[in-house]
């Protein structure tokens, strides 16, 4: 059972401070550390005490101090083991809260955001930048707008179990077009300092680049409530050019900082770029 009723030395002491007589306190100590499944069985046992009338006159206080949730001492009698389990549970709860509402770590397995984010970068994303999620509702408290240029974390539209990281390029209601690698927003050239075009791949594409979908796209009008995202590594990024728009409400966080780097293609002893540690994403 999740809920149980049990009197401890501390709870009995609380009742004593509330004015319970010494006789009643002594009688309650005979019930100390005994578990009861329901308030009815608990109060039935109390009713057998000599001072039952005095105690039951404080029924609300009694039930309040006796009520408990997920009591580990019910299943784990060894105190040392119980303290270890409690510490682990506490750490997991704190980690869940931090990851859901503050910062979450992500490892980058692909090069779609090169050079801003490289393969093997480990980043922290702020999970509060666009509002704090309300559990089981799909809503957010203190909701904030997504801005163009933000590096965002969101579930991949074709498989929500996979997290993607891309940069926001087009906003709701805008018309976006790509002409020869250049982005136009509402028919105005949008200058991008972060966009990377691999020169070697450009050579391979050669004259066929004019028809290549990464270099020429649209025009498309971005629906309300959606955003258009792309990787900074424009020739090597699966993004909105291929699988469509992202629901703005599905964005869960904003990329903030690289805290570690190790290329997974290298050995344990190689492939580190320590100079990338603690650098902020722009």
- 87 belongs to a structural domain: no
pLDDT of residue 165: 93
Structural domain of residue 230, as residue ranges?
101-280
- 64 belongs to a structural domain: yes
CA-to-CA distance for 152 and 129, rounded, in angstroms?
Answer: 10
SS3 58: coil
pLDDT of residue 260: 83
pLDDT of residue 42: 92
Catalytically active residues, by annotation: 112, 166
How many domains are contained in the chain?
Answer: 2
- 125 belongs to a structural domain: yes
Instruction: Name the stretches of the chain with pLDDT < 50.
Output: none
- 80 belongs to a structural domain: no
- 82 belongs to a structural domain: no
Task: Give yes or no: residues 64 and 108 share one domain.
Answer: no
Domain end: 30, 57, 74, which one?
74
pLDDT of residue 209: 52
- 28 belongs to a structural domain: yes
pLDDT of residue 144: 84
Task: Give yes or no: residues 143 and 259 share one domain.
Answer: yes
Cβ neighbourhood burial of 62 (10 Å; 0-12, 13-18, 19+): buried
- 140 belongs to a structural domain: yes
pLDDT of residue 224: 95
pTM over 0.85: no
| pLDDT 10s digits, 225-240 | 999 999 999 998 999 9
Residue spans of beta strands (DSSP E) within 22-128: 67-69, 103-107, 121-126
SS3 240: helix
Q: Which is nearest to 36 in space by CA: 68, 12, 9, 72?
A: 68
- 247 belongs to a structural domain: yes
pLDDT of residue 112: 92
Q: CB of 166 within 8 A of CB of 157? A: no
Task: Give yes or no: residues 57 and 107 share one domain.
Answer: no
pLDDT of residue 195: 92
Domain end: 39, 74, 109, which one?
74
SS3 206: helix
What CATH number should be reported for the domain holding residue 225? 2.10.109.10
Q: CB of 138 within 8 A of CB of 159? A: no
pLDDT of residue 267: 67
Domain end: 74, 91, 122, which one?
74
pLDDT of residue 40: 92
């Amino acid at each position: 059972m999740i809920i149980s009723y049990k009197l401890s030395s501390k709870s009995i002491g609380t009742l004593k401070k509330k004015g319970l007589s010494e006789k009643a306190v002594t009688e309650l100590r005979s019930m100390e550390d005994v578990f009861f499944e329901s308030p009815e069985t608990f109060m039935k046992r109390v009713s057998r005490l000599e001072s039952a009338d005095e105690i039951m006159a404080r029924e609300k206080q009694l039930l309040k101090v006796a009520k408990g949730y997920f009591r580990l001492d019910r299943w784990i009698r060894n105190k040392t083991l119980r303290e270890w389990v409690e510490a682990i549970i506490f750490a997991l709860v704190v980690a869940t809260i931090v990851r859901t509402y503050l910062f979450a770590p992500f490892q980058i397995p692909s090069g779609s955001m090169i050079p801003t984010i490289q393969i093997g970068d480990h980043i922290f994303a702020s999970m509060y930048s666009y509002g704090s999620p309300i559990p089981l509702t799909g809503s957010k408290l203190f909701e904030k707008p997504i801005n163009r240029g933000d590096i965002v974390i969101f579930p991949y539209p074709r498989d929500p179990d996979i997290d993607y990281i891309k940069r926001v390029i087009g906003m709701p209601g805008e018309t976006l077009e790509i002409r020869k690698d250049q982005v136009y927003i509402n028919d105005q050239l949008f200058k991008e300092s972060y966009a990377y075009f691999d020169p070697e791949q450009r050579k391979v594409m050669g004259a066929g680049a004019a028809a290549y979908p990464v270099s020429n796209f649209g025009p498309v009008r971005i629906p309300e409530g959606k955003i258009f995202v792309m990787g900074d590594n424009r020739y090597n990024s699966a993004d909105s050019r291929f699988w469509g728009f992202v629901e703005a409400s599905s964005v869960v966080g904003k990329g903030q900082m690289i805290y570690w780097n190790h290329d997974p293609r290298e050995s344990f002893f190689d492939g580190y770029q320590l100079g990338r540690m603690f650098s902020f994403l722009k």
